[in-house]
Amino acid sequence: MRQPVRISPSILSADFARLGEEVRAVDRAGADYIHVDVMDGHYVPNITIGPMVVKALRPHTKKPLDVHLMIAPVDAYIPAFAEAGADIITVHPESGPHLHRSIQLIRQLGKKPGVSLNPGTPVEAVAEVLGEVDMVLVMSVNPGFGGQSFIASQLDKIGALRRRIDALGRKVDLSVDGGITPETAPRAIEAGADVLVAGTATFKGGEPAYAGNIRLLRGG
């Protein structure tokens, strides 16, 4: 089921020395979710933050914390992110031996499970769990860094997932993550995405620009 377009700023592009203020600023500026990129230097070639930072950010916003786990093996850390206050917890099929078990664990902890596909990961890798998740996150860059260019071949994948989600007849967010700008956002939306993750495009220009940046991504 297609839902209104929502914007999930990735705090990867925020000022890490002022993360709480940055989260409050994008919340005020109209963010629908707050996207938190967790990287381990193993599954992806970068290291960011862990559950302690998610816990520290939790009091700064009532918006859902959309926590994107790029760590492997992932299962042992899921409870800590749930306890820290994550609302949506997204995992990659490559990040654990049993994708379905990871999703079951997130659900058992009372959180919304998501599943993410890298640019090289086919739709079939998540086909068996589509009925179990609340979000499908299509990576339109290879995971690890902000500020990369949108990989246009992922638009077809978004379209294929849109059709599968519509056939399910239940609400599943179809999110796109990486290289989202006011130019690429309409293409992702047209292909079927209804959540746009944006780091660089949200945080550029500093706090006075955030509300305008988010409005532009939503379509003006």
154: left (phi over 0), alpha (psi -120 to 50) or beta: alpha
Q: How far apart are CA 155 and CA 44, in angstroms?
A: 23
Least Å distance, CB 184 to Zn ion, is 15
The region of 46-54, 117-125, 166-174, 177-185 touching Zn ion under the rule CB under 5 A is: 177-185
Which 3 state secondary structure label does DSSP give 132? helix
The one catalytic residue in 32, 37, 66, 194 is 37
> Rounded to 5 degrees, what are φ and ψ at 192?
130, 0
> 9 touches which of Zn ion, ligand DX5, none (CB within 5 to 8 A by kind)?
none
Interface with Zn ion includes 40 (CB under 5 A)?
no
Residues that bind ligand DX5 (CB under 6 A): 10, 12-13, 35, 37, 68, 141, 143-144, 146-148, 177-180, 197-201
Catalytic position from the list 32, 40, 66, 177: 177
Give residue 213's identity as a one-letter amino acid code.
Answer: N
Q: Which of 32, 18, 89 is nearest to 61 (CA)?
A: 32
Known active-site residue 32? no
Smallest gap from Cβ 60 to Zn ion, in A, equals 19
Kindly report the number of other CB atoms within 10 A of residue 76's CB atom: 9
Q: What is the C-alpha separation between 75 and 53, in angstroms, rounded?
A: 19
Give how far the C-alpha of residue 15 lies from the chain's centroid of Cα atoms, to the nearest Å.
19
66 forms part of the interface with Zn ion (CB under 5 A)? no
Name the binder of 147 from ligand DX5, Zn ion, none, CB < 5-8 A by kind.
Answer: ligand DX5
The site partner of 200 among Zn ion, ligand DX5, none (C-beta below 5 to 8 Å per kind) is: ligand DX5
Looking at the Cβ atoms of 89 and 180, the one nearer to ligand DX5 is: 180
Task: List residues with catalytic annotation.
Answer: 37, 177
